[in-house]
Structure 1
Amino acid sequence: MKRLRALALGCWLAFAAAGAAQASSGGFCDRTHDLSAAEQDRLLRFAAVLREELGGSADSVTLVSRSGLDLSRFHIRYSHAALAWRSEQGVWAARQLYYSCDERRPRIYDQGLAGFAMGTDDPALGYLSIVKLPPQAVLALRPALLDSSRALHLLGAQYSANAYAYGLRYQNCNQWLVEMLAAGWGDLADGADLRERAQAWLRTADYAPQPVEVGSRFLMLASHFVPLLHLDDHPDADRAALRLQISLPSTLEEFVRARFPQSERVEVCHDDKQIVIHRGWTPVADGCVPADGDRVVSLSD
């Protein structure tokens, strides 16, 4: 089984993936990974745990994030977030922005939970984060999320993996998602200027992404070689300090938790031997090592 990377360029793409060595976005879009039968089975069982966690919830909209490219050098575990929603027939899908390699533009896409869970770059070690929203958050968000016109008006024309969190020139997948939160929780009406109004609402709501410490001018130069990376939308002071404000899943989770403290978080991870289900806002240990109280599902059965 092959997994095409068109859906999983990720929102952080290349800073940690030697992106400067790839002269075009096609270098990423053309990458595939042949999954062995054992890897397929492991990832499908991993996806089944995600489905079980969502199925046991009364919520109909949930924030879900997954690991993708290895960004551990930046202390980043999750690169890509989506809003999982349940249809009236009880079927869950992950609504998200992705970059379409064939069309060379961003799109909005509803992906099945199995496909979302299998979008990780490493089939031997993967992480999922689930933030279950309280009823009042879902009630305000769901109409906006399922409004195709508002979803598309929030879609930026130009994709940038490292888009400036407060900018309108570019957009990455997590930025689309947080602007959708603004449209729902701010009760923003549809319109061509919806992105601008969503950004204004986020500022008043104290949305403040933690700056990413790039730590290397060489990595900053990647934007000159990789079309899906840009720096011209970031403030001069941020570029000089090698600190970029980018919307990431961790920032989205912090924003949700601050606004709705009743939200609950579940982290699910797997290695080649087991799946670990860890509840609470503290992160599961690196390497998917279970702690006391964690549920462990053996993959050797």
Structure 2
Amino acid sequence: MKRLLLIACLVLAAPAWAGRSCEENPMPVDDAVKSMDLAQKTFAALDASGAQVALLSRVGQDLSKYGLTYSHMGIVVRDHPEGRWTVVHELNECGTASSNLYNEGLGNFFMSGLFRYEAEIVVPNADTQARLAQLVASRTARRLHEPQYNMLSYAFSTRYQNSNQWVLETYAAASAPAGQVETRAEAQAWLKKAGFEPITLRIRSGTRLGARMFRANVAFDDHPFDRRMTGHIDTITTDSIVRFARNLDPATKVTTVR
């Protein structure tokens, strides 16, 4: 019975706000088994951490050529109305230029065609955890979400947003003095003042042009012109969030699950 309850917690999911689902090919059985195994290990690690809320990353694609490991981050909440250890995160709608916020169980979070079966758990201090729990259940989380999606959105522009940027700006709202961050502009102003530094990707003009022409969810017009023209793309990655969280609070705990 206990195992059945765990599986239910891992798999159950619901959209936080309405979104269009994608048609996907069935996942190979071996991949599904590995994904569920990672979900169970992550569930156990989260329980063992004693956390109420954590930041959770997965390896959805190979980003090694950029010196990156994890591709996507969400906020995982222990006592969530949708079930124990529910992930609240922004998802791009089927490769389009729009996104939505979703609540997903750990099983669904990892059942996404992972490149590598590994996860990273980031546990902030207790006060930040409590603020995050309040925020993801409030209207502030919606205000901090920009539905115009850009996989490589500029770190200090409100024109677009990528999935990790929503996590970062929500984390900013939880870390700033109460009431200081209610909008994306306020979040970005606070992040600048607090010393957040984005990751700079080197992307050549030919690659940028091809991405803009053939992918609806990639744009570069929010980036400063001089940086863009020299191939310097300053964006939000899980690595930049973890680095900032550790600099802001050295007591932040980071755990790898394999």
Task: Please indicate, yes or no, whether the TM-score normalized by the shorter chain is above 0.5.
Answer: yes
Q: What residue is the counterpart of 1:127 in the other structure?
A: 118
Question: What is residue 19 of structure 2 aligned with on the other side?
Answer: none
1:228-239 aligned within 5 A: 228-239=217-228
Task: Give the TM-score, by structure 2 length.
Answer: 0.84
Counterpart Cα distance in 2 of 1:225 and 1:38 = 32
CA positional deviation for 1:91: 0.7
Contact kept, 8 Å, 1:67 with 1:120, in 2: the verdict is: no
Contact 2:72-2:164 within 8 A present in 1 as well = yes
Work out which of the residue numbers 217, 221, 236 in structure 1 matches 2:205.
Answer: 217
Residue in structure 2 matched with residue 98 of structure 1 by the alignment: 91
Q: Secondary structure at the match of 2:215?
A: coil
Q: Compare relative contact order (CA 8 Å, sep 6+) and give the higher one, 1 or 2.
A: 2
After the TM superposition, list the runs of 4 or more consecutive aligned residues in structure 1 that deviate by more than 6 angstroms: none
Gap runs ≥5 in structure 1: 1-6, 8-28, 270-301
Match of 2:248 among 256, 259, 275: 259
1:176 to 139, 143, 166: 166
Cα separation, 2, equivalents of 1:128 and 1:242: 30
- 2 CA distance for matches of 1:99 and 1:83? 16
Gaps of 5+ in 2: 1-14, 16-21
Percent of pairs with identical residues: 27
Q: 2:53 matched to which residue of 1?
A: 61
In structure 2, the residue matched to 1:112 is: 105
Q: Distance in 2 between matches of 1:188 and 1:98?
A: 27
Q: How many residues align?
A: 237
Aligned-residue RMSD, C-alpha: 2.4
Partner of 1:211, secondary structure, is: strand
TM-score between the two structures when normalised by the length of structure 1? 0.72
For residues 164 and 81 of structure 1, what CA distance do their matches in structure 2 show? Answer: 17
Distance in 2 of aligned mates of 1:84 and 1:157: 21
Higher helix share: 2
Equivalent-residue separation in structure 2 for 1:201 and 1:190 (angstroms): 8
In the aligned structure 2, how far is the partner of 1:256 from the partner of 1:96? 18
